[in-house]
Amino acid sequence: MLIKKSEVTKLSYNIRKAIDGDNIDFRDNNEGALSILKNDIHTFVTLKNAQLDNAVLEHKIMSEYIENISHQLKTPITSMNIMLDLIEDAPKDKQLEFLSNIKTSLTQMKWLTTNLLKMAKLDNKVVEFSKKEIPVHELLNISLKPLEILLDIKNQKVALENDIIVNCDRKWTAEALTNIIKNALEHSKENSTITVNSGENPIYSYISVTDTGNGIKKEDYKKLFTRFENSHNKNGYGVGLPLALSIIRSQNGDIDVDLGGHGKGAIFTIKLWKRVK
């Protein structure tokens, strides 16, 4: 079968258009060597465009993270610079207060950048989850380690009511639980006890965390898992709960919220879906 020069010219023209970024469909649904070549070119261009789109998306995500980190670190860095300028001429008691505030700011900045980098890994799907059976009390013990100082400052306790075996990634699920419990501690009264419960049904296993606060307003619900929405809050930067949700959803789970109120605290429930046999 002869291939016409006009067909080759048209194919060459379309290839140049595709190189320039135009969306070209090379396929002609005919038979013959030229049609096979057109289909192969179409497949190649489609794959390359998909790879390019992914690269652009990854670059955008990283740019957003860099921008967010810069924005969130600006306030504490400015505050620390002011305290450092004042500390030399300040009374001794004020110097100790400034040093304590600077130490707290540094701890918060470390926590922020660590969590942002973890979210970047999850967003780019470079985290490999290793699911194994683990008792909830073991997850809880791991998750409470980073919160020991916060618990001590407010004289708070965390109590586990029911212990079951769950199937999840030990490290990352404990990370999610840490952020949920941290949120509960920050919104609970001093000398209070945060309740952790666990259970299961034929569809999913769950771990719930109940605080002793005043509940959550309905208009604030959508902000809970939106990154940086609560960055103005004195309790944090608005990344802990979004990170927790990202971790659980990456394991095909979800997080439900009972807003509480009327004398009841909020309840955050991690749901880990079971495999249907």
Q: Tell me, what CATH number does 191's domain have?
A: 3.30.565.10
Helix, strand and coil percent figures for the chain, each rounded to 5: 55, 15, 30
Considering all CA atoms of the chain, what is the largest pairwise distance in Å, rounded to the nearest integer?
Answer: 95
Do 140 and 115 sit in the same domain of this protein?
A: no
Do 34 and 167 sit in the same domain of this protein?
A: no
Instruction: Give the confidence band of 211 by pLDDT, cuts at 50, 70, 90.
Output: very high
**Whether the predicted pLDDT of 45 surpasses 50:** yes
Q: Provide the domain limits for residue 46.
A: 1-126
Work out whether the CA dihedral 41, 45, 51, 55 comes out positive or negative. positive
Do 146 and 266 sit in the same domain of this protein?
A: yes
**Whether the predicted pLDDT of 235 surpasses 80:** no
What mean pLDDT is predicted for residues 83-91? 87
Do 12 and 111 sit in the same domain of this protein?
A: yes
The DSSP annotation for 43-98 comes to HHHHHHHHHHHHHHHHHHHHHHHHHHHHHHHHHHHHHHHHHHHHHTTS-HHHHHHH
Residue with the bigger pLDDT between 107 and 99: it is 99
Which of 28-32, 54-58, 141-145, 273-277 has the highest mean predicted lDDT (pLDDT)? 141-145
pTM, entire model: 0.64
Do 44 and 71 sit in the same domain of this protein?
A: yes
Do 108 and 160 sit in the same domain of this protein?
A: no
Residue with the bigger pLDDT between 85 and 196: it is 196
- What pLDDT is recorded for position 113? 75
* Number of compact structural domains in the chain: 2
Q: Given the DSSP bridges, would you call strands 193-200 and 157-160 parallel, antiparallel or unpaired?
A: parallel
**Whether the predicted pLDDT of 276 surpasses 60:** no
Identify the domain boundary among 126, 152, 174: 126
Name, in order, each residue with C-beta under 8 angstroms of 176's C-beta and a sequence gap of 6 or more: 243, 244, 245, 247, 248, 270
Do 222 and 249 sit in the same domain of this protein?
A: yes
Identify the domain boundary among 102, 126, 150: 126
Which tokens belong to 58? Answer: 């990854």
- What pLDDT is recorded for position 79? 80
CA–CA gap between residue 57 and residue 118 (Å, rounded): 17
Which of 28-32, 117-121, 124-128, 164-168 has the highest mean predicted lDDT (pLDDT)? 164-168
Do 145 and 263 sit in the same domain of this protein?
A: yes
Instruction: Give the confidence band of 269 by pLDDT, cuts at 50, 70, 90.
Output: very high
What mean pLDDT is predicted for residues 92-109? 83
Do 101 and 228 sit in the same domain of this protein?
A: no
CA–CA gap between residue 23 and residue 18 (Å, rounded): 6
**Whether the predicted pLDDT of 158 surpasses 80:** yes
Do 31 and 118 sit in the same domain of this protein?
A: yes
Identify the domain boundary among 95, 126, 157: 126
Do 143 and 261 sit in the same domain of this protein?
A: yes
- What pLDDT is recorded for position 272? 95
Do 28 and 58 sit in the same domain of this protein?
A: yes
